[in-house]
Structure 1
Amino acid sequence: MLPQFAALLQDLFAALYKYNVLPLPESSVAPSARVNRVLLDGLLASTPYEHLKARTQLDEIRAGLGAVLLGERALELLRSEKLFSRRDLLDHFALRHDEAEHAERLREIERAEEMRGDAELGEDARSEIDALRERLAREALVAERRLERRAAEVARDVANRAEAGKKRLEAEALGVAQELDDAADEAESWGRALGARGPGSAARSLELGRRLAHNPKLRKLSRLLGRMREQALALRHRLFERPSEEILDVETGRELARLLPQELIGLRHPVLRLDWRRRYVEGALLQYRLRGDDERGRGPMVVCLDTSSSMAGDKEIWSKAVALTLLDIARRERRRFRAILFSSPETGLYTLDLNRGERYAADLEGSLDLADYFAGGGTDFEHPLDAAVECLGDSRFRRGDVVLISDGECRVSEEWKRRFLAEKQRLDFSLYAILIDVGGSTLETLAELADRVSRVSELTAETAGDLFTRV
């Protein structure tokens, strides 16, 4: 919509992030970017900008999110032709084309000068190059005059619309300031809940914040996920012995709790202390390698999530908050997590492996896909549970957990039920059902298939422990 829109985004980020903002002299701004300068001048002089900068200064995530949101608001104004008409925008692009053409002619003249300086050229070649230089100089002069004429026309249009553009962007800045805090805080909370840190986390947080800012359903889900995660972690920190781990081997590393006793001597030794610190930084200290439950047979967590029409509204929010809380639990316990989203047989299954990365870190993009996806249609338990059984059967860890999250409004055939229960006994896995009973719900089918059924309403009761501690 604007020929210099990428530059506008960079300027918006700098204006929101930097402590001191010093605009370039107007004479050094490209003619095609003067509209950017008008918008920025209006923003920098406005009261909403001060409120916005107080939230974003020296914070790259919030500054980036604020720049993206302001840029999107500017695009909306351009599409609605509230800043410039379509013809005005075409003039801006034509001006940008003239700038590029003039710059290309100048580069060609420079290359011709370099060629003429070649000592091995003969007189005929030099004469041809001189003729070429003269032609290029004439073309450059024509391009320059055309550029000056069009730049003057665009400058007049920009000046005529400058005041209206400043006021409109000022109003948009006020709206961005109001929604930025919520979106940034929820993005940070979401990423923290799913362990989405490490390289690229700033870019992921920026994209997450942008999606949260535009999606009320995701914002509501984010708030519920934060509360549910805190409760789940408190419940799982129950008072019983720590899951056992056994010594498997000796390896190098820097985890203090697993260092060999002889390595600890160097920590206090006056001569060996510097060498100990060097090996600590390099991760070269001798430590025990432990084998825990995950490596001794605790298998993946497979969550079948109902996305049929009956789950629309609050049921969808609650069911996905439960699923994402289970993802956080799986990440912390180093268990693979597969989500199978289902509705009717005709729709098909949507399968997401959400923590295949290093250290079982959650896939933030995949978790957003889970949160966004909603198929609608009818409900079929048979296909997703068959897929879950197939997953456990093919896995290196046979013993795992299957979780079915639904409002229970579905029937299954007797033949399929007998086959499923037989396969469940053969593979020796547990099926836990979570009934989303915040509206209409049916317990009968879930009770027939599952080892245990928990109700999402129990999250507010003293028995809430069953929901997250048994999986």
Structure 2
Amino acid sequence: MKTSWIETDSYDRAALARLRDDSPSLQALSESGSKLLPHFDGFVLDLFALLFKLTIVPHPEADVVPSASFYRVLVDQLRTTPVLDTLRQQTVLDETRAGLATLLLGERLLELIKSERILTRAEMLDFWNLEQQEDELSTRRDEADTAANLKGQTSSKATERQLAELEGRMRREIDGAERRLQQRTKQMLNALKDTAERSRGRVESQAQRVLQDLEDTAEQSDSWSVQLGTGQRSSPGAQLELGKRLANNQKLRKLAHMVGRMRETALALRQKMFERADAEMYEISSGAELSRLLPSELLALRHPVLRRDFARRFLDGELLQYALRAREEKGKGPLIVCLDGSSSMAGDKEIWSKAVTLTLLDIARRQRRRFRSICFSSADMPLQVLDLNQWERYAAQLPQVLELAEYFPGGGTDFEKPLSAALDCLRHTKHRRGDIVFITDGECRVTPEWLTEFKRAKEKLGFSLFSVLIDIGPSALGTLQEFSDKIATVSQLTSDASKDIFLKF
């Protein structure tokens, strides 16, 4: 007999299996649920089928084991709620979104079960006892069938008679076990009517929450890898993990929105810069760009006959012109962002500064530069040092990106420790002309000895230091002027306020 209530085919089951293999959270959901109730894997498959399949076909009650009858209550309530239709508009035939909705809805319903608001602990034990009765009945049927087979194979009348008596006794025991199972199943089904009443509003409420979460996070999860600098789409399982974190973390959702806006701003600025960029001539080509024509072509305009030929070749794009190539800066050193994580940066300042950091990560990937972030606070707090794009083609590493996004140490402010760590990185790189971006909202004194040594190393290594002072409330440039090449002050935490930073790179 079956342990799920919605009809599925091999493709549906394989799709869910692929997602489960790639998603630790989906695995944990099945494992956690299976500790509370039997056949929870079948219920997860039902959720996926409800969200993924174009046509939903339920199994007849007689085809499903009685110990899975509780899940029918949840499945029926989900099928009859209008929220499911809206949810399915986003998930039908989309494995990743259906998997994310399955994970979110499964976790919410599992929390309801754990809280004993729709099912008591005693009722959970009853389902385990029911499954045990089913297993025992199945074992007895197998034993009776084995006895029947042996009876037909023996040549001894005495043995045949003994096996027949054994089979008869087993069949009578099976009949008794079936009656007890049917009676117990009937009692459980009657009890489930009360469970259905208790759970009706709660199940619909959880589905509504998942709908809202999916609308907020599915698109962000799908495009996060591109927006935050990986430059490539993550695997479906990784998108499930990210979607779960986005759904449960409002700060991450705000950060993703801010990074998206900043990335658009940075790309627009870079496009304008490339349009104005110096270029070099490297060959002769054909075209119709008047500003790049060879002098010999311009001379043709003075001759009446050649002028007509010039017009023809202009229309055909066959005039001789210089081909230009933008001057590229190669061999640039790493881009290092020192990010203030002190208590005063909490809230919008943290979101804005991390959005700037992750947008610079995207710029570094495009420039094929290594990128390191150093999050700092008090002198006694350890630095969070992350190399975010060590992969091939300088693609960012999503786990490290999320680690940066979610980390916030709090505490005071110390400038010397992160800048010394940035120096160590630049000393060990093979390229000169690295850059340090120092983002802070505070003031901190540095010792004259440290400042002298820092300036000496800065001149030797040939890097630039660009400081960003988030100027909300009373603050002064103070120490930043002593070691920075340029300082930008920010008073409005918007994507437009970051233009000066992105123009630098």
TM-score of the superposed pair, with normalisation by structure 1: 0.77
Residue 179 of structure 1 aligns with an amino acid whose one-letter code is D
Q: Please say which of residues 171-180 and 336-345 is displaced more in the overlay.
A: 171-180
In structure 1, the partner of 2:48 is: 13
1:167 to 191, 201, 205: 201
What is the CA-CA distance between 1:8 and the residue it aligns to?
Answer: 2.1
1:416 aligns with 2:476: no
Partner of 1:213: 247
For 1:185, the aligned partner's letter is E
Correspondence for 2:276 among 216, 240, 258: 240
Q: Give 1:386 shift.
A: 1.3
Deviation sequence 1:282-315 (CA, Å, 0-9, x none): xxxxxxxxxx968x42122111111111111111
**CA offsets 1:350-378 (integer angstroms, 9 cap, x no match):** 12221122222222222111111111111
Residue 62 of structure 1, aligned match among 85, 89, 97: 97
Structure 2 match to 1:154: 188
- Report the counterpart of residue 368 of structure 1 in structure 2: 402
Looking at structure 1, the residues matched to 189 and 412 of structure 2 have their Cα atoms a distance apart, in angstroms, of: 59
Trace 1:16-55 onto structure 2 (pairs within 5 A).
Answer: 16-55=51-90
Separation in structure 2 between the aligned mates of residue 313 and residue 184 of structure 1, nearest angstrom: 24
CA 37–382 in structure 1, closer or farther in 2 if over 3 Å, else same: same
- Equivalent positions of 1:187-226 (< 5 A) are 187-196=221-230, 200-226=234-260
> Are the aligned partners of 1:194 and 1:328 in contact in 2 as well (CA < 8 Å)?
yes
Q: Output aligned runs, 1:22-421, within 5 Å.
A: 22-99=57-134, 141=174, 151-196=185-230, 200-237=234-271, 238=273, 239-241=275-277, 296-421=330-455
- CA distance, structure 1, for counterparts of residue 173 and residue 417 of structure 2: 69
Q: How far did residue 163 of structure 1 move?
A: 3.1
Residues in 2 aligned to 1:109 and 1:308: alpha-carbon distance in whole angstroms: 73
CA contact (8 A) 2:352 2:494 kept: no
Shift of 1:27: 1.8
1:443 deviates by 2.1
Instruction: Pick from 445, 448, 451 the counterpart of residue 482 of structure 2.
Output: 448
Which structure's CA Rg is the greater one?
2
Q: In structure 2, give the amino acid aligned to 1:193.
A: Q
CA-based RMSD: 3.7
Please tell me whether the aligned partners of residues 265 and 499 of structure 2 are also in contact (alpha carbons under 8 angstroms): no
How far apart in 2 are the matches of 1:183 and 1:99?
42
Given that 1:408 and 1:444 are in contact with CA atoms closer than 8 Å, whether structure 2 keeps it comes out as: no
* 1:444 match: secondary structure: coil
Cα gap change, 1:99 to 1:463, in 2 (>3 Å)? closer
Shift of the 415–195 alpha-carbon distance from structure 1 to 2, 3 Å rule, reads closer
Unaligned runs of 5+ in 1: 247-291
Deviations 1:367-404 (A, max 9, x none): 11111111111111211111111112122334311211
More displaced stretch, 431-440 vs 364-373: 431-440
Take 1:170 and 1:462, find their aligned partners in 2: how far apart are those partners?
Answer: 41
Q: 2:255·2:351 contact (CA, 8 Å) conserved in 1?
A: yes
Question: Cα offset for 1:76?
Answer: 2.4
Aligned partners of 2:342 and 2:413 also within 8 Å:
yes
Q: CA deviation at 1:447?
A: 2.0
> Counterpart amino acid of 1:67?
T
Structure 2 residue identity aligned to 1:204: A
Q: Percent identical across equivalent pairs?
A: 49
- Preserved CA contact (<8 Å) 2:352 2:493: no
CA drift of 1:407 comes to 0.9
| Cα drift, residue 70 of structure 1 | 1.3
Q: How many Å separate the matches in 1 of 2:121 and 2:279? A: 66
Identify the residue that residue 276 of structure 1 maps to in structure 2. none
**Cα distance change on mapping 1:416 and 1:19 into 2, 3 Å:** same
Q: 1:344 to 1:156 in 2, by over 3 A?
A: same
1:213, distance to aligned residue in structure 2 (A): 1.4
Separation in 1, partners of 2:376, 2:237: 30
User: Conserved in 2, the CA contact under 8 Å of 1:102 and 1:140?
Assistant: no
SS of alignment partner, residue 169 of structure 1: helix
Shift of 1:7: 2.6
Q: Residue 330 of structure 1 aligns to which amino acid in structure 2?
A: A
Where do residues 429-468 of structure 1 align in structure 2 (5 Å cutoff)? 429-439=463-473, 441-457=475-491, 465-468=499-502
Residues paired across the two proteins, number: 419
Which one-letter code corresponds to 1:93 in the other structure? W
Q: 1:460 to 1:220 in 2, by over 3 A?
A: closer
The change in CA–CA distance for 1:416 and 1:96 in structure 2 (over 3 A counts) is farther
| Partner SS for 2:479 | helix
Q: Which moved more, 1:305-314 or 1:55-64?
A: 55-64
- For residues 339 and 112 of structure 2, what CA distance do their matches in structure 1 show? 40
Q: Cα gap change, 1:440/1:55 in structure 2, threshold over 3 Å: closer, same or farther? A: farther
Aligned partner of residue 338 in structure 1, secondary structure = strand
Query: In 2, Cα distance between the equivalents of 1:96 and 1:173?
Result: 28
**TM superposition shift of 1:109:** 8.2
**Range with bigger deviation, 454-463 or 68-77:** 454-463
In structure 2, relative to structure 1, the CA distance for the partners of 1:343 and 1:38 (3 Å cut) is same
Deviations 1:90-136 (A, max 9, x none): 3333434554565567778889999x89x9xxx9xx99xx89x98x9
1:427 to 461, 465, 475: 461
Quote the Cα distance in structure 2 between the aligned partners of 1:163 and 1:356: 55
Q: How far apart are the structure 2 equivalents of 1:405 and 1:149?
A: 71
The 8 Å contact of residues 407 and 440 in structure 1, kept in 2 or not, is answered as no
Q: Report the AA paired with residue 36 of structure 1.
A: Y
Instruction: Give the deviation of 1:189 after TM superposition.
Output: 3.7
For 2:209 and 2:494, locate their aligned partners in 1 and report how far apart those are by CA, in whole Å.
35
Tell me which amino acid in the other structure corresponds to 2:93: L
Contact 1:191/1:197 (<8 A) preserved: yes
Letter in 1 for 2:44: L
* C-alpha distance in structure 2 between counterparts of 1:230 and 1:344, whole Å: 34
* AA partner of residue 32 (structure 1): S
Q: Is the 8 A contact 2:258 2:495 kept in 1?
A: no
